[in-house]
Amino acid sequence: MKIALIGVGGVAVFLLLVRWAMSQIRYRVGSKHFVVSLLGIPIRKIAIEQIEYASKREPDGFAERWYNTLSTSHRLLTIEKKSGFPKYMCITPKNRYVILTEIKAAVRKIRPEANWAKAKTVEPLPEL
């Protein structure tokens, strides 16, 4: 009986530790790399030049998933790479549009011909 309680307690502590570690995952867009870090330590890098496309849609195929929350709705961002396996990386930043804009800006600096990364302009309001 004691062994079962210790086992259940150990599993509970492990799950709490995993959940806490998930909440410590951060995302950063640099001039040359997109970086996923855990407790400030880079654990995954993708070169900006390797990013083919980024969107808020769920990927079609198998994806590498770096979630920092259990609720992924309205936070999912998918990065499609030019090559490599898996082809997709899914992340869940707090504000996916901020990270998406930063990724687009970084891709535009390296590949100005990337149409998907073009900034959408807002027309000024007409003067009255």
Domain that holds residue 100: 2-116
Question: pLDDT tens for residues 16-45?
Answer: 998 998 889 999 999 899 999 999 999 999
How many Cβ atoms are within 10 Å of 41's Cβ, its own excluded? 7
For residue 94, the domain's CATH number is: 2.30.29
Domain assignment of residue 54, yes or no: yes
68 to each of 1, 37, 58, 79, how far by Cα in Å? 35, 11, 16, 16
Report how far residue 19's alpha carbon sits from residue 11's, in angstroms, rounded to the nearest whole number.
Answer: 12
Mean pLDDT of 102-125: 78
Q: What are phi and psi of 126, to 5 degrees?
A: -70, 145
Burial class, 79, CB count within 10 angstroms (exposed 0-12 / middle 13-18 / buried 19+)? buried
119 to each of 100, 102, 108, 109, how far by Cα in Å? 11, 11, 9, 12
**Predicted model pTM:** 0.79
Domain assignment of residue 34, yes or no: yes
Domain assignment of residue 122, yes or no: no
Domain assignment of residue 126, yes or no: no
pLDDT band at 128 (very low <50, low <70, confident <90, very high): low
Domain assignment of residue 125, yes or no: no
Domain assignment of residue 123, yes or no: no
Report how far residue 120's alpha carbon sits from residue 39's, in angstroms, rounded to the nearest whole number.
Answer: 34
Greater pLDDT, 114 or 42: 42
Instruction: Scan for tokens 């961002």, then name that residue.
Output: 77
Q: How many domains are there within the chain?
A: 1
Among the listed residues 121, 102, 116, 109, the one whose alpha carbon sits nearest the alpha carbon of residue 34: 102
